[in-house]
Amino acid sequence: MDPFNNFSGLVVPLDRSNVDTDAIIPKQFLKSIKRSGFGPNLFDEWRYLDRGEPGVDCAGRPLNEEFILNEARYQGASILLARENFGCGSSREHAPWALEDYGFKVIIAPSYADIFFNNCFKNGIWPIVLPAEVMDGLFELASRDEPMQIEVDLKAQQLVVGDAIIDVEIDSFRKHCLINGLDDIGLTLQHVDDIKAYEAQRRQQAPWLFT
């Protein structure tokens, strides 16, 4: 995955609690495991007025103009505000794939479902946890007519909102992985020389395993 770089991004407020993974990416889109191409179907049942199907071009589908992601002022958003228990439901990794493919790099919420929270880190998304009262203030700012930008500084573990600085907690190992673009495969490949040495040794010790 790509390294996580500091950036300034447009914020979109999704003011709903208990958003489950089937709402994030409906079950009919789980047939593919390519990790890409899911962005147009993010929140599919909320963004469109018809039922989405895999392989269907979304460009001509009727939009739900009342859904916040379809509002013109939020186009190009890369930071998602959410309410408590975001990403609940099934453990599908397609949910962070869809969010990342749409363009979201950061999610900010009071709490997340555990598996979804872990899957975000493994796919280059930083899921930030902030207290509910802080989230209320961010939602109020993001809902104004003027577009809201947040500067995201992973190295300093800070969010800059106007003149305010919000300190953010993150596990040091997860921070290291995001900054260096390391998913589980990337972490394993850091030990590729040791893996090759072990395999060579096993070929000598048990050659019948490699026939």
Instruction: Give pLDDT tens digits for 144-191.
Output: 888 899 999 999 999 999 999 999 999 999 999 999 998 877 777 777
pLDDT of residue 200: 83
pLDDT of residue 198: 87
In a domain, 52, yes or no: yes
pLDDT of residue 142: 93
What are the angstrom distances between the C-alpha of 202 and each of 48, 71, 192? 55, 59, 15
When pLDDT is cut at 50, 70 and 90, the band that residue 193 belongs to is confident
Determine the structural domain holding residue 144 and report its residue range: 7-180
The tally of domains found in the chain comes to 1
Contact 81, 108 (CB under 8 A): yes
CATH number at residue 66: 3.20.19.10
pLDDT of residue 25: 97
In a domain, 96, yes or no: yes
In a domain, 120, yes or no: yes
pLDDT of residue 199: 86
pTM of the predicted structure, to 2 decimals: 0.90
In a domain, 65, yes or no: yes
Q: What is the rounded distance in angstroms from the CA atom of residue 31 to the CA atom of residue 165?
A: 42
Tokens coding 201: 């040794």
For residue range 74-102, what is the model confidence (pLDDT) as tens digits?
999 999 999 999 999 988 999 999 999 99
In a domain, 195, yes or no: no
Which residue is it, tokens 């099934």? Answer: 90
pLDDT of residue 11: 98
In a domain, 199, yes or no: no
Tell me the residue type at 59: A
Provide long-range contacts, Cβ within 8 A and 24+ apart, for 182-189: 182/1, 183/1, 183/122, 183/123, 183/124, 184/122, 186/1
What are the angstrom distances between the C-alpha of 16 and each of 87, 139, 180, 194? 11, 11, 32, 47
| H or E element that contains 115 | helix 114-122
Task: Tell me how far the alpha carbon of residue 107 is from its chain's centroid.
Answer: 7
For residue range 17-75, what is the model confidence (pLDDT) as tens digits?
999 999 999 999 998 888 889 999 999 999 999 999 998 999 999 999 999 999 999 99
